[in-house]
Amino acid sequence: MDMKSYLFVLRKPAHSGSYVQELLDIIMTTAAFDQHVTMLLLDDAVFHLKIGQSPQKVAMKDTAAIYKALELYDVTEIYTEEDSLIERGLMLSDLCLPIKSINRTRIASFMKRFDVVFST
């Protein structure tokens, strides 16, 4: 089968409806099809990986745990954007996975590298 490079852009916070969980399902399916998958967390999506969440207290699934499982699907390219972190008082060390941060001015050229961009 053909190979394409996929970028998944996530912008909403975790546990805002089923959005994150359903997008993670697409990401895992795409990776299971042996496609090259990259993720970009913008705006409130940076909270997905915040250390110290207790989603079970509000009957929600642990989305941060799903992120950790993505490695099993060879999804290791996860990026965020510097200003999204700073605007929310966060640093990379507040996140539970070692992801990379890129500058806001580079986002457009970064997106151009991919064949398919998923953003909802």
Shortest spacing between CB 21 and another protein, in angstroms: 10
Residue 70 three-state SS: helix
Compare residues 2 and 59 and give the one whose CB is closer to another protein: 2
Of 16, 76, 105, 120, the residue at the interface with another protein (CB under 8 A) is 120
Order of all β-strands in the sheet with 116-119: 100-102, 77-81, 36-41, 5-10, 116-119
Question: Does 16 help bind another protein (rule: CB under 8 A)?
Answer: no
The burial class, CB within 10 Å (0-12 / 13-18 / 19+), for 78 is buried
Least distance (Å) between residue 107 CB and another protein: 18
- Site mask for another protein (CB under 8 A), range 24-63, x = bound: -xx--xx--x-x----------------------------
Q: Which of 103, 105, 80, 106 is nearest to 93 (CA)?
A: 80
Q: Is the dihedral of CA 71, 84, 12, 113 positive or negative?
A: negative
Binding to another protein by residue 8, rule CB under 8 A?
Answer: no
87 binds another protein (CB under 8 A): no
What is the binding site for another protein (CB under 8 A)?
A: 1-2, 4, 6, 18-19, 22, 25-26, 29-30, 33, 35, 116, 118-120
